[in-house]
Homo-oligomer: A and B are copies of this chain.
Protein backbone atom coordinates (compact mmCIF):
# COMPACT_ATOMS: atom_id res chain seq x y z
CA UNK A 1 0.00 0.00 0.00
CA UNK A 2 1.19 3.48 -0.71
CA UNK A 3 -0.19 6.73 0.59
CA UNK A 4 1.67 8.84 -1.95
CA UNK A 5 -0.72 11.16 -3.75
CA UNK A 6 1.47 12.26 -6.66
CA UNK A 7 4.54 10.96 -8.54
CA UNK A 8 7.81 12.53 -7.40
CA UNK A 9 10.46 13.07 -10.06
CA UNK A 10 12.97 15.78 -10.88
CA UNK A 11 15.65 16.50 -13.49
CA UNK A 12 18.76 18.70 -13.66
CA UNK A 13 21.54 19.23 -16.18
CA UNK A 14 25.08 20.45 -15.54
CA UNK A 15 28.27 21.06 -17.49
CA UNK A 16 30.94 18.53 -16.61
CA UNK A 17 34.25 18.26 -18.45
CA UNK A 18 32.79 20.42 -21.22
CA UNK A 19 29.80 18.14 -21.71
CA UNK A 20 26.19 18.58 -20.60
CA UNK A 21 25.27 15.75 -18.28
CA UNK A 22 21.82 14.95 -16.98
CA UNK A 23 20.70 13.89 -13.51
CA UNK A 24 17.24 12.44 -13.08
CA UNK A 25 15.66 11.18 -9.91
CA UNK A 26 12.50 9.90 -8.41
CA UNK A 27 11.26 9.29 -4.88
CA UNK A 28 8.36 7.68 -3.11
CA UNK A 29 7.13 8.08 0.46
CA UNK A 30 4.74 10.19 2.51
CA UNK A 31 4.65 8.68 6.00
CA UNK A 32 7.16 7.05 8.28
CA UNK A 33 9.38 9.82 6.99
CA UNK A 34 12.31 11.01 9.00
CA UNK A 35 14.99 9.55 6.79
CA UNK A 36 18.17 8.45 8.40
CA UNK A 37 19.49 6.64 5.34
CA UNK A 38 18.36 3.68 5.93
CA UNK A 39 9.84 3.20 3.27
CA UNK A 40 11.28 6.27 1.66
CA UNK A 41 12.87 5.29 -1.61
CA UNK A 42 14.68 7.57 -3.99
CA UNK A 43 16.53 6.70 -7.16
CA UNK A 44 18.74 9.15 -8.97
CA UNK A 45 20.45 8.45 -12.27
CA UNK A 46 22.95 10.40 -14.30
CA UNK A 47 24.78 9.90 -17.54
CA UNK A 48 27.89 11.52 -16.08
CA UNK A 49 31.12 9.55 -16.14
CA UNK A 50 32.37 9.83 -12.57
CA UNK A 51 34.05 7.35 -10.21
CA UNK A 52 31.73 5.55 -7.77
CA UNK A 53 33.57 6.78 -4.65
CA UNK A 54 33.28 10.38 -5.78
CA UNK A 55 29.57 9.99 -6.59
CA UNK A 56 29.01 8.42 -3.16
CA UNK A 57 30.81 11.29 -1.42
CA UNK A 58 28.77 13.92 -3.28
CA UNK A 59 25.53 11.98 -2.71
CA UNK A 60 26.22 11.59 1.03
CA UNK A 61 26.98 15.30 1.38
CA UNK A 62 23.85 16.22 -0.58
CA UNK A 63 21.59 13.81 1.33
CA UNK A 64 22.85 15.20 4.63
CA UNK A 65 21.44 18.62 3.76
CA UNK A 66 18.26 17.43 1.98
CA UNK A 67 16.71 14.00 2.68
CA UNK A 68 18.19 13.83 6.18
CA UNK A 69 16.66 17.27 6.90
CA UNK A 70 13.03 16.35 6.25
CA UNK A 71 10.49 14.88 8.60
CA UNK A 72 6.81 14.05 8.27
CA UNK A 73 6.28 12.27 11.57
CA UNK A 74 9.65 11.60 13.18
CA UNK A 75 9.29 7.90 12.39
CA UNK A 76 12.18 6.42 10.50
CA UNK A 77 11.62 3.59 8.07
CA UNK A 78 13.86 0.56 8.02
CA UNK A 79 14.26 0.79 4.28
CA UNK A 80 14.86 4.46 3.52
CA UNK A 81 17.30 4.80 0.68
CA UNK A 82 18.63 7.15 -1.94
CA UNK A 83 20.52 5.44 -4.75
CA UNK A 84 22.53 7.23 -7.41
CA UNK A 85 23.31 5.43 -10.67
CA UNK A 86 25.77 6.78 -13.22
CA UNK A 87 25.92 5.31 -16.73
CA UNK A 88 28.80 7.41 -18.04
CA UNK A 89 26.93 7.71 -21.35
CA UNK A 90 27.42 11.51 -21.43
CA UNK A 91 31.05 10.89 -22.39
CA UNK A 92 32.46 13.74 -20.32
CA UNK A 93 36.18 13.77 -19.63
CA UNK A 94 36.98 12.11 -16.31
CA UNK A 95 37.57 14.72 -13.61
CA UNK A 96 41.22 15.55 -12.88
CA UNK A 97 40.44 15.63 -9.18
CA UNK A 98 38.27 13.18 -7.30
CA UNK A 99 37.83 15.55 -4.34
CA UNK A 100 34.06 16.07 -3.98
CA UNK A 101 34.61 19.81 -3.50
CA UNK A 102 36.77 20.26 -6.60
CA UNK A 103 35.81 23.41 -8.59
CA UNK A 104 35.42 21.43 -11.81
CA UNK A 105 32.65 19.45 -10.09
CA UNK A 106 30.84 22.54 -8.79
CA UNK A 107 28.16 22.62 -11.50
CA UNK A 108 27.43 18.89 -11.17
CA UNK A 109 27.41 19.09 -7.38
CA UNK A 110 25.06 22.07 -7.42
CA UNK A 111 22.73 20.32 -9.86
CA UNK A 112 22.75 17.15 -7.74
CA UNK A 113 22.09 19.05 -4.50
CA UNK A 114 19.31 21.03 -6.11
CA UNK A 115 17.69 17.86 -7.48
CA UNK A 116 17.93 16.11 -4.10
CA UNK A 117 16.29 19.09 -2.41
CA UNK A 118 13.46 19.16 -4.97
CA UNK A 119 12.79 15.44 -4.45
CA UNK A 120 12.99 15.71 -0.64
CA UNK A 121 10.53 18.61 -0.66
CA UNK A 122 8.12 16.64 -2.83
CA UNK A 123 8.10 13.97 -0.13
CA UNK A 124 7.25 16.55 2.54
CA UNK A 125 4.58 18.28 0.46
CA UNK A 126 2.98 14.85 0.09
CA UNK A 127 3.40 14.06 3.81
CA UNK A 128 0.47 12.04 5.11
CA UNK A 129 -2.33 14.49 5.83
CA UNK A 130 -0.06 17.47 5.16
CA UNK A 131 -1.57 20.72 3.96
CA UNK A 132 1.40 23.02 4.59
CA UNK A 133 5.15 22.90 4.03
CA UNK A 134 7.20 24.23 6.92
CA UNK A 135 10.74 25.48 6.26
CA UNK A 136 12.77 25.84 9.42
CA UNK A 137 15.98 27.85 9.44
CA UNK A 138 18.15 27.76 12.50
CA UNK A 139 21.10 30.11 12.79
CA UNK A 140 23.40 31.18 15.60
CA UNK A 141 23.91 27.65 16.90
CA UNK A 142 27.19 26.43 18.35
CA UNK A 143 27.65 24.12 15.34
CA UNK A 144 25.86 23.05 12.16
CA UNK A 145 25.02 19.69 13.76
CA UNK A 146 23.52 21.45 16.77
CA UNK A 147 21.49 23.71 14.45
CA UNK A 148 20.23 20.61 12.62
CA UNK A 149 19.10 18.97 15.86
CA UNK A 150 17.24 22.15 16.89
CA UNK A 151 15.61 22.44 13.45
CA UNK A 152 14.50 18.79 13.53
CA UNK A 153 13.14 19.16 17.09
CA UNK A 154 10.96 22.05 15.86
CA UNK A 155 9.92 20.07 12.78
CA UNK A 156 9.07 17.01 14.88
CA UNK A 157 7.12 18.74 17.64
CA UNK A 158 3.44 17.70 17.56
CA UNK A 159 2.55 21.02 19.21
CA UNK A 160 4.37 23.09 16.57
CA UNK A 161 2.89 20.93 13.79
CA UNK A 162 -0.69 21.24 15.11
CA UNK A 163 -0.23 25.02 15.57
CA UNK A 164 0.76 25.24 11.89
CA UNK A 165 -2.32 23.17 10.99
CA UNK A 166 -4.36 25.61 13.10
CA UNK A 167 -2.71 28.58 11.33
CA UNK A 168 -1.44 30.03 14.59
CA UNK A 169 1.96 31.74 14.78
CA UNK A 170 2.60 30.08 18.13
CA UNK A 171 6.20 31.14 18.71
CA UNK A 172 6.01 29.87 22.31
CA UNK A 173 5.76 26.30 21.02
CA UNK A 174 8.81 26.94 18.84
CA UNK A 175 10.72 28.08 21.92
CA UNK A 176 9.50 24.97 23.78
CA UNK A 177 10.90 22.74 21.02
CA UNK A 178 14.23 24.56 21.16
CA UNK A 179 14.29 24.09 24.91
CA UNK A 180 13.48 20.40 24.95
CA UNK A 181 16.03 19.25 22.40
CA UNK A 182 18.98 19.45 24.74
CA UNK A 183 21.16 21.62 22.50
CA UNK A 184 22.92 24.76 23.78
CA UNK A 185 20.40 27.65 23.75
CA UNK A 186 19.80 30.72 25.87
CA UNK A 187 16.40 32.34 26.23
CA UNK A 188 18.01 35.79 26.48
CA UNK A 189 19.74 35.55 23.08
CA UNK A 190 16.93 33.74 21.25
CA UNK A 191 15.04 35.31 18.34
CA UNK A 192 12.07 33.80 16.49
CA UNK A 193 10.72 34.98 13.13
CA UNK A 194 7.71 33.61 11.29
CA UNK A 195 6.99 34.52 7.69
CA UNK A 196 10.05 36.79 7.77
CA UNK A 197 8.64 38.88 10.61
CA UNK A 198 10.66 38.96 13.81
CA UNK A 199 8.25 38.15 16.65
CA UNK A 200 10.52 37.61 19.61
CA UNK A 201 13.98 39.01 20.15
CA UNK A 202 16.37 38.32 22.99
CA UNK A 203 13.76 36.23 24.70
CA UNK A 204 10.83 38.65 24.66
CA UNK A 205 8.19 39.80 22.19
CA UNK A 206 9.58 42.56 20.02
CA UNK A 207 8.34 46.11 20.77
CA UNK A 208 5.63 47.09 18.33
CA UNK A 209 5.13 43.55 17.02
CA UNK A 210 2.12 43.57 14.72
CA UNK A 211 0.55 40.15 14.24
CA UNK A 212 -1.34 41.10 11.03
CA UNK A 213 1.23 40.05 8.37
CA UNK A 214 2.09 36.91 10.31
CA UNK A 215 -1.57 35.90 10.53
CA UNK A 216 -1.77 36.31 6.74
CA UNK A 217 1.40 34.21 6.31
CA UNK A 218 -0.02 31.40 8.44
CA UNK A 219 -3.01 31.08 6.08
CA UNK A 220 -0.64 30.22 3.22
CA UNK A 221 0.73 26.83 2.29
CA UNK A 222 4.41 27.68 2.71
CA UNK A 223 5.29 28.46 6.29
CA UNK A 224 8.68 29.84 7.21
CA UNK A 225 10.07 29.65 10.73
CA UNK A 226 13.46 31.12 11.55
CA UNK A 227 15.20 30.80 14.88
CA UNK A 228 18.43 32.58 15.74
CA UNK A 229 20.01 31.11 18.84
CA UNK A 230 22.51 34.00 19.07
CA UNK A 231 25.35 31.78 20.24
CA UNK A 232 27.58 30.93 17.30
CA UNK A 233 27.89 30.42 13.57
CA UNK A 234 26.14 27.06 13.22
CA UNK A 235 23.19 26.93 10.85
CA UNK A 236 20.84 24.39 9.26
CA UNK A 237 17.61 24.21 7.31
CA UNK A 238 15.01 21.49 7.77
CA UNK A 239 11.57 20.89 6.33
CA UNK A 240 8.45 19.47 7.88
CA UNK A 241 4.68 19.61 7.44
CA UNK A 242 1.64 20.24 9.58
CA UNK A 243 -0.06 17.53 11.64
CA UNK A 244 -3.72 17.23 10.70
CA UNK A 245 -6.77 15.00 11.02
CA UNK A 246 -5.66 13.53 7.69
CA UNK A 247 -2.60 11.94 9.33
CA UNK A 248 -4.79 10.33 12.00
CA UNK A 249 -7.20 9.06 9.33
CA UNK A 250 -4.44 7.49 7.26
CA UNK A 251 -2.56 5.92 10.16
CA UNK A 252 -5.34 5.12 12.60
CA UNK A 253 -8.14 3.95 10.34
CA UNK A 254 -6.27 1.99 7.67
CA UNK A 255 -7.90 -1.32 8.68
CA UNK A 256 -11.46 -0.13 8.67
Which residues of A line the B interface, CB within 8 A?
A: 31-32, 34, 36, 38, 73-78, 156-159, 162-163, 165-168, 173, 175-177, 179-180, 242-245, 247-248, 251-256
List 14 extra interface pairs beyond A75-B176, A243-B248, CB under 8 A.
A38-B179, A73-B158, A74-B156, A75-B177, A75-B180, A77-B176, A78-B179, A158-B247, A158-B251, A159-B251, A162-B247, A163-B252, A166-B254, A167-B255
> A74-B157, A158-B247, A245-B245 known; A180 and B34 CB under 8 Å?
yes
Interface of chain A, helix or strand or loop or mixed?
Answer: loop
Contact B244 A252 (CB under 8 A): yes
* A166, A176, A248 interface centre (most CB from chain B within 10 Å): A248
4 A-B pairs with least C-beta separation:
A162-B251, A76-B180, A166-B252, A162-B252
**Residue of B whose beta carbon sits closest to that of A168:** B255
A76: chain B residues at CB < 8 Å are 176, 179-180
Complex CA gap A7/B74 in Å reads: 32
Chain B CB within 10 Å, residue with most, of A75, A157, A176: A75
